[in-house]
Amino acid sequence: MKVIISNNPIELGISAGKAAAELIKTTIANKGQANIILATGSSQFETLKQLITEKDIDWSKVVMFHLDEYIGLPESSGASFRKYLKERFLSKVSPLKAVYLVDGETDPVKECNRLGMIIEANPIDVALVGIGENGHLAFNDPPADFDTTEPYIIVDLDEACRKQQFNEGWFKSVEDVPKRAISMSIKQICKSKHIICSVPDIRKAQAVKDCLEQPVSNLFPASILQLHPDCSYYLDKYSAEFLSADLTQKSN
């Protein structure tokens, strides 16, 4: 586990974006192709902003998946993660080799099966993820399913998760936040060779402490990343505020 603490979200995003770019370029050089996962939400703004500015990435050799999408939410909604990725990433880089977006407007069981077959044929090299205020990883809210081997699953969103989406300004009310989503599973995320976890903001400080310092538990879903052989946490001084002195000193 590697922890990098920056002064603010912008510096965090620059560090995380540069690290992701280097991993993608190295993977392309070694394998001829890089399979990546992108996260969405406000925690990823600066990381993606930096990633799209990085030079010498041959995007035509990149295959992209993403973590989750609300069930029943149209892509035209400002809260749609497909819309987010098209506007903030896909429209800013040259065309990728392939893009597999989660369609929450179709039959969710069939969509999980479709994406599952594709991702199993494209092992992930680099995953960009975040941690929710309730400790969730993707939309795997506590208590998360650590056992399922299905790559994509249908999940119920808990109250804390739905409140976070409202408080971040994605919806006009908590009631407008969908109650179900399609999410990449915990086991599938952890199959990624490299994981970059970007987590800015004081709102995430308790979740960061729980997921980095508590024993691994499905009550703190992102705590599973403690067991990953190559996971780097990119925090700012606000999200790292509650971490123990031992952990913050090791990061410097």
The whole-number pLDDT of residue 79 equals 95
The whole-number pLDDT of residue 114 equals 98
The whole-number pLDDT of residue 252 equals 45
Instruction: Give the SS3 label for residue 228.
Output: coil
The whole-number pLDDT of residue 251 equals 57
Confirm whether pTM is higher than 0.75.
yes
DSSP state of 40: -
| Domain segments of the chain as ranges | 2-251
* Sign of the torsion angle spanned by Cα atoms 120, 158, 81, 227: negative
**Weakly modelled stretches of the chain, pLDDT under 50:** 252
2-251: CATH number? 3.40.50.1360
Q: Taking Cα atoms as reference points, which of 41, 42, 24 lies closest to residue 33?
A: 24
Distance CA 63, CA 122 (A): 8
Determine contact, residues 233/4, Cβ cutoff 8 Å.
yes
> What is the per-residue pLDDT across 63-75, written as a single tens digit (0 to 9) for each?
999 999 999 999 9
> Taking the C-alpha atoms of 104, 105, 111 and 112 in order, what is their torsion angle to the nearest 10 degrees?
30
The whole-number pLDDT of residue 249 equals 57
Determine contact, residues 37/127, Cβ cutoff 8 Å.
yes
Place of tokens 């280097």: 22
The whole-number pLDDT of residue 245 equals 78
